[in-house]
Each structure stands twice: as structure tokens, then as C-alpha cells.
Amino acid sequence: MSSNEKNNDHLLQAPRGTRDFVGDTYDRKADFYRQAEAIARGYGFTGIETPVFEHTEIFTKGVGEGTDIVDKEMYNFTTAGGDRLTLRPEGTAAVMRAYIEHGMGSMPQPLYLYYTGPFFRHEKPQKGRYRQLYQFGLEVMGGKNPMYDILTIKTGYNILKTSGREISVQVNTLGSVSERQNYLEILKKFYQEHQSQLAESDQYRIETNPLRILDSKEPSTKTINEKAPLLQDQLGEASKAYFDAVTKGLEDLGIPYEVVPSLVRGLDYYEHTVFEYVTKDEQGANSLALGGGGRYDGLAEMIGHKESVPAVGLGLGVDRILEVAHDDAYLDTSRKKVSIIAIGDKVIGEAIKIAGIVAGSGCEVLMQATD
């Protein structure tokens, strides 16, 4: 083999952090989407599709500078015409942009929207995590009532139950924007006083995004976090009542949940309710996150709209779901398979006609011809 051939070996492999879906892997992903869409439509959601790239500021203003997504993980590029664009790292900001652009606020509210597709984050590839990742998202836009938070969580929960795994919900409240801002100042002061005891990778977040330090996985930071002030102590009665209504709704529906005060999510637009869906790993020891979301009433204004749009939504990680799902969870066996073999050139036309009749009856047809 020549040196040129060796140097070109990488061209015959998918780029790092991506993968091909072939055979059963393609069918399982397609069947997950089929089941998820059926459940979402059952709760009144309709589909929406946005471009795979948006103006970069949609994400820097919406997701937030100082977040890992914006600072480290976005695929940015500039067109020949000078437009600064980004391959979408998440779906909510783009759906909100579409909601505003198309005047969807003038339609009967709220709007129930779902979307599917690839998203892009330049992060370290690992099991269940890719640079081209797939999500199933739900957004309820134009409604501010705990019912919409509960309904969104319930719909996502029902979708995840199709995996065959035990699912539970971790939930928290970030309070209102003003309550969260007051808490950030208190938290920043606390971390400044303990900066030398924080993991080095967390110290820079004190000024940029102190809230993210709360869910750090670094042992030294976790020790400090045990002493950190609680956001719940800064909440007013209205925020407490809102969150109580959400948790009561989960109880009424029999959805297993746990209030996790350190749960903040990695996106700046969240306020009030935030949540994650988790399941146990194969050893039953560690929790694996399968998706999450929250309320984001201020996102519309963050990306330049003149008024707020109350909204709540979620994103489910399809790659991780397919990885942990039971083997038979997403293989559609409802359609019968039929093989038709054309023996000799003279019967090819007739064989294809028969295949059309069989396929029209709802069966899957595999055509073969003798050489």
C-alpha cells in the first residue's frame, strides 16, 4: 500500500464524533421517531422544521455566552457574503425564532410543536454522545400555567417509557429572572470566597456562569457545593406556589420524581421549572440523563423580540435513548415481510406487478432475481 493510500484511509471513515445509521440501527431510529411522533400528536403537538443553521447570535444571545455550548462546542462559519452562521447546537432558540418570524403569536395560543433532526456540538465523543447528535423536541409556546409544564414533562415521560427502561424525573425551580439574578450575586460572592478550593476547571465560571458550578462533577467542587447557598431560599411566594403546582401535578399523574436543588441545566434562557429524565446504568448505580428541558419565558426578548413569549419545552437525546433501550423496543415487527423471486428475465415484469400488489396490502417486499 502506498503512502498516499495510507494517508487517505481516514477519508473512508465517518468524521470523528459522527456515525452512519445502517440496517437495524437506521430502522430503530426511524421507529423511535414514529412512536415519539404518535405520542406527541396524541397530546396535540404538530410538527415544525427549521434550518440546520441559524444566525450565530440566535445562540449567543439565547443559549448564553459563558455556557459550554457557546464557548466551546458550536460549529461557526462565515459565508462569502459575510453572514455569521452556526450549525444548530439545540432546537429551542431556532423554534422561537420561527415562532416570531411567522407571526405565530397571532394564532390561537398556546401552540404545541414538535421537531426532530440532527444537531451539532463539538464536544469530546464518548459512549452515547456524538458531535452530530439527534434529538426529539417538544415546545409549548404562548402559555404560562403550571399545566403546560406538567403536560410537557408527561409527554416526554410517555415517549421515554417506550424504551422499556424505568424512567424518573429530576426537577428543580430557578425562580423568576430577578430572583435568579439576586441568587447569582450571592452565589458569585460565595465562590469568590472559596475560589482556591474549587477545581481549576470551575474557577473561571465564577465570573462567567457561576450557576453551572453547582452541577460540577469535580470532587473538590462538589465538596464546596455542599455548603453553597440554596436558590430556594431566595424564592418569593409566587415562584414557590408555581413550583408546588408542578410537583403536585407530577404526583397526581404518578410520575416518579425527585427535587434536585443543584439541577440548573446548561442554557441561560431557563427560568422557573427545569427538569431532566434519568434512568439507571446497567449496574444500577449511576443515573444516565436521557433528556430534559424547562420554562423559558424570556427567550423571545433575549433574541431580539419586543415582548416576552411564555413557553416551556424539552429535548430528548435520541442517541442515548437508542443505546439504553431494550433490544426489542424500536424494531417494528407489525409489517409482514414477503420475498418474491423472479426466475428468468421473462417474468421480471410480472414479478414487479405482484410486488406492487403485495406492497399495497401493507407488507414489506424483498425482490430478488436469478443471475
Distance CA 72, CA 88 (A): 14
Residue 362 is predicted with a pLDDT of: 85
Q: For residues 255 and 200, which has the higher predicted lDDT (pLDDT)?
A: 255
Task: Tell me which of 51-55, 158-162, 284-288, 366-370 is least confident.
Answer: 284-288
**163/335: higher pLDDT:** 163
- Which of 4-13, 156-165, 351-360 shows the lowest mean pLDDT across its residues? 4-13
Average pLDDT, the chain: 91
Which residue intervals of the chain are DSSP H helices? 3-7, 24-42, 56-59, 68, 92-101, 146-161, 177-193, 200-203, 205-208, 219-225, 237-252, 299-302, 318-324, 348-360
Q: Could you give the percent of the chain with pLDDT greater than 90?
A: 69
Question: In the predicted model, what is the mean pLDDT of residues 286-307?
Answer: 94
What pLDDT, on a 0 to 100 scale, did the predictor assign at position 96? Answer: 98
Return the minimum-mean-pLDDT range out of 33-42, 230-239, 315-324: 230-239
pLDDT value of residue 284: 65
Q: What is the pLDDT of residue 6?
A: 58
Each residue of 138-156: pLDDT tens digit?
999 999 999 999 999 999 9
**pLDDT value of residue 127:** 79
Which pLDDT belongs to residue 326? 92
Domains of the chain: 3-175+235-324 (3.30.930.10), 337-369 (no CATH)
Whole-angstrom Cα distance, residue 344 to residue 223?
A: 75
Tell me how far apart the alpha carbons of residues 61 and 163 are, in angstroms, rounded to a whole number. 35
- Its pTM stands at 0.89
Please report where in the chains the cell 417506550 appears, as a residue.
162
Mean pLDDT of 294-307: 95
What is the Cα 178 distance to its own chain's centre?
26
| C-alpha to C-alpha distance for 108 and 296, rounded to whole angstroms | 20
HSE of 278 in the Cβ direction (CA atoms, 13 Å)? 18
Given a cut of 70, is residue 328 above it in pLDDT?
yes
The three cell numbers of residue 331 are: 424494531
> Distance between CA 300 and CA 142 in Å, rounded?
11
Q: How confident is the model at residue 69 (pLDDT cuts 50, 70, 90)?
A: confident
